[in-house]
């Protein structure tokens, strides 16, 4: 058995949002995730994209605004989690910034899954390609915040979101145990690296005209990361796919592609004993 975790940058209400909304809903139905981490979500009295996507579905919802939306300050712009299972508690961490007004947060929740409590942190790091120095400070805070969200002994802590950094950047190398920053180190396993199909796994792709308009290179910037699994195999990353990556009648779900990872929830079969 596995726990299915989906992350997607929703691109707020840009493009043909009513038609994009239906594309996102189609993908969620098709993928049947247990937990969805979303970034660039709008939520307020006059606009609630979480309710538009999940209203009546039975999913439990949580949201943390990073900033007021620039077109309507009564609406929050931030990160969200939707869960098939009860959300028991939550916390928000304001991440370090550069002082230019770009504010980012991480939303951490504890989810009461049938396999034990799960600590999941959804985040969205600074977007500018030359802001690696800001993201380095952000991942130092993020790693500490996410590691603290291991409420049980079985399932590992999860980080999901748009990290706006490629796998060989210092930010991601730090999170995945390949280098230290400021004398500190950590390890979260990169689901695509462990269980993807061996391809580049681009989630920002010029195949998508919504992304192509930004005149930026193809790159992998959206992740599901998981802490150490148990020796029994519980918590091991089993499969990972790039999803939400197609168009119908010219409409794509978002300017990003999503990532779906499956985390093992039962022990591996015991190895046969020697005769």
The torsion angles phi and psi of 51, rounded to 5 degrees, stand at -65, -40
Q: Cα separation of 101 and 89, whole Å?
A: 29
The CATH number that applies at residue 61 is 3.60.10.10
Burial class (CB in 10 A: 0-12, 13-18, 19+), 78: buried
Q: Cα separation of 10 and 222, whole Å?
A: 12
Joined tokens for residue 167: 């796998």
pLDDT band at 130 (very low <50, low <70, confident <90, very high): very high
Burial class (CB in 10 A: 0-12, 13-18, 19+), 208: buried
Within a domain: residue 225? yes
Confidence (pLDDT) at 152? 78
pLDDT (tens digit per residue) in 27-50: 999 999 999 999 999 999 999 999
In order, the DSSP letters of 95-149 are PP--SSS---EEEEEEEEETTEEEEEEEEE----TT-HHHHHHHHHHHHHHHHT-
Q: Are strands 105-113 and 116-124 parallel, antiparallel or unpaired?
A: antiparallel
pLDDT band at 150 (very low <50, low <70, confident <90, very high): confident
For 194, the domain range is 2-264
Within a domain: residue 156? yes
Within a domain: residue 249? yes
- The total number of structural domains that make up the chain: 1
H or E segment and range at residue 263: strand 258-264
| Predicted TM-score of the model (pTM) | 0.96
Within a domain: residue 274? no
**Does residue 13 carry a pLDDT above 60?**
yes
Within a domain: residue 275? no
């Amino acid at each position: 058995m596995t726990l299915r975790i989906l992350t997607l940058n929703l691109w707020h209400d840009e493009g043909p949002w009513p038609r994009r909304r239906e594309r996102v809903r189609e993908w969620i139905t098709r993928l049947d995730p247990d937990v969805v981490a979303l970034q660039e979500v709008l939520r307020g009295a006059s606009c609630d994209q979480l309710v538009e996507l999940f209203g009546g579905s039975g999913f439990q919802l949580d949201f943390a605004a990073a900033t007021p939306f620039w077109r309507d300050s009564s609406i929050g712009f931030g990160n969200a989690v939707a869960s098939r299972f009860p959300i028991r508690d939550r916390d928000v961490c304001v991440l370090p910034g550069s002082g230019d007004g770009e504010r980012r947060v991480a939303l951490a929740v504890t989810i009461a899954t049938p396999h034990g409590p799960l600590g999941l942190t959804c985040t969205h790091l600074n977007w500018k390609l030359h802001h690696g120095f800001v993201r380095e400070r952000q991942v130092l805070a993020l790693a500490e915040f996410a590691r603290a969200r291991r409420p049980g002994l079985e399932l590992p802590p999860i980080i999901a979101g748009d990290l706006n950094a490629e796998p060989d950047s210092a930010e991601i190398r730090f999170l995945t145990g390949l280098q230290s920053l400021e004398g500190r180190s950590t390890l979260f396993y990169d689901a695509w690296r462990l269980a993807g199909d061996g391809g580049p796994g681009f989630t920002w792709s010029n195949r998508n005209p919504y992304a192509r308009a930004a005149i930026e290179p193809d790159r992998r910037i959206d992740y599901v990361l998981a802490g150490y699994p148990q020796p029994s195999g519980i918590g091991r990353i089993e499969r990972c796919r790039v999803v939400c990556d197609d168009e119908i009648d010219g409409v794509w779900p978002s300017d990003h592609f999503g990532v779906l990872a499956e985390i093992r929830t039962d022990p591996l079969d015991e190895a046969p004993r020697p005769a």
